[in-house]
Amino acid sequence: MAATRLDKLLAQSGERTRSEAARLIRTGRVTIDGTVQTNPACKADTDNAEVCLDGQRLQDTPYQYWMLHKPAGILTAARDRNAETVMDLLPKPLQVRDVMPVGRLDKDTTGLLLFTSDGTLCHRLLAPKTHVWKEYLATVDGELTEEHIALFRQGVPLKDFTALPAELSVVSASASESHAKVRIREGKYHQIKRMFGALQLRVTALHRQAFGPLTLDIPCGVYRALRKDEIAALYRAAAMDGDERHG
């Protein structure tokens, strides 16, 4: 990797602007191979030098990879004139870095939502032929039975398509309410709600706890950058070869 200006390296994480990065450098909080560097224009190659901010090694991240624990009542959209969107929950520097959600969660659905500026990865994760599994916890009115499990396994016929075979595991069930784990390989509009609806069951709560190899591990409303091993796992899930990878 070619050497890059220090202020640009710090800004590439999406957590701070270029000017904020420069201020951090000037105040002596950045080191290169253990030596304090106060010149924002100084260049470094993170492949061959250890660049640290406050003692923590900096990774070169020209592409952004984040997860958010989406709360209920928030739209999955880039912007909306009348409602809060998931982009409003991210740090402002990320909002100008072409970071976009990978797919969508309904307004009342909570849980794991991925964001990236890597358009190729985003497309591959959502492509039907890739079949990346998503896992949800669902609460439904009524009692779930073995018959429902079998119907999900076969693929539930809907008005405009037949859903791919899915996995339904009952966590608890009573005549009035059931809790279940659902794993699907698609992500079409209101799909899980429609699948249960086709079986005369109404979803009252839905939460995504996993996307491909990633499991949600942060509180509601909180976001974090993905680790390098998590990014690599996403590439593997998307069946991307080395020439397509940026992480």
Three-state secondary-structure class, residue 172: strand
Is-contact 30 24, C-beta < 8 A?
yes
Helix/strand/coil for 153: helix
pLDDT, residue 85, reads 95
Q: Mean pLDDT throughout 18-34?
A: 92
Q: Which residue has the higher pLDDT, 3 or 89?
A: 89
Q: Residues 7, 54, 106, 217: which is the catalytic one? A: 106
**pLDDT tens sequence across 28-55:** 999 999 999 999 999 988 778 888 888 8
% of the chain with per-residue pLDDT over 90: 65
Distance from C-alpha of 170 to C-alpha of 177, rounded to nearest angstrom? 11
All structural domains of the chain = 4-57 (3.10.290.10), 65-128+218-244 (3.30.70.580), 134-211 (3.30.70.1560)
Residue 106 falls in the annotated catalytic set: yes
